[in-house]
Amino acid sequence: MPEASPQPSAIPPGACGVCGLHADPEARDRWQIGADGLWLLRHHPDPAPVAGWLILDAVRHLGGPIDFRLQEAAAWGGAVQRASRLVQALTGCERVYAIAFGEGARHLHLHLIPRREGDSGTEAWAVADVYRAVASGSRPAADPAAVAELVARARTLWGAAGDGPTLAP
């Protein structure tokens, strides 16, 4: 993994929610799982729609894969696979959805969502209804204590993931 390096940025402070989270020590303490020079993996902040809903961010402020530099383009697939395997290892889900709109913040943040076959309420676009219901307060969010426990486990697994049996490429 490349070492983290300072990122040149022309983004005014507060202009990008994702950049803001990366720079916020409290957010890092609560939700960040790991980071290298290219990617930052974190749990969805409170209110989290589902425990184990992770988000893989580009460290650099960029809108999406269309903006990748060569190094980012080459590394993206491995990062997505590794993070998706972590979601599965943490939650025991059968599948992991990967969704990126980049509208709430114009900064690539890939939602990695645990998908359990027995839960029809989160099938395909229904998961967006769950997301909106939690955001509006009409559906309870994931228990913050459960999220904190999961983040702790995720950090351990992510740190050992280089050769881990469940997360290795």
Where on the chain is the footprint of Zn ion (CB under 5 A)? Answer: 16, 18-19, 61, 107
With respect to Zn ion, which residue has the nearer C-beta, 107 or 115? 107
57 touches 40 (CB < 8 A): yes
48 touches 97 (CB < 8 A): no
How near is the Cβ of 9 to Zn ion at its closest, in Å?
A: 8
Residue 101: Cβ within 10 Å count: 12
How near is the Cβ of 108 to Zn ion at its closest, in Å?
A: 9
With respect to Zn ion, which residue has the nearer C-beta, 23 or 152? 23
How near is the Cβ of 67 to Zn ion at its closest, in Å?
A: 11
The residue at minimum Cβ distance from Zn ion is: 16
With respect to Zn ion, which residue has the nearer C-beta, 22 or 85? 22
Please state, in angstroms and rounded to a whole number, the distance separating the CA atoms of residues 53 and 109.
12
Dihedrals φ, ψ of 111, to 5°?
-80, 125
- What is the token pair recorded at 6? 């300072």
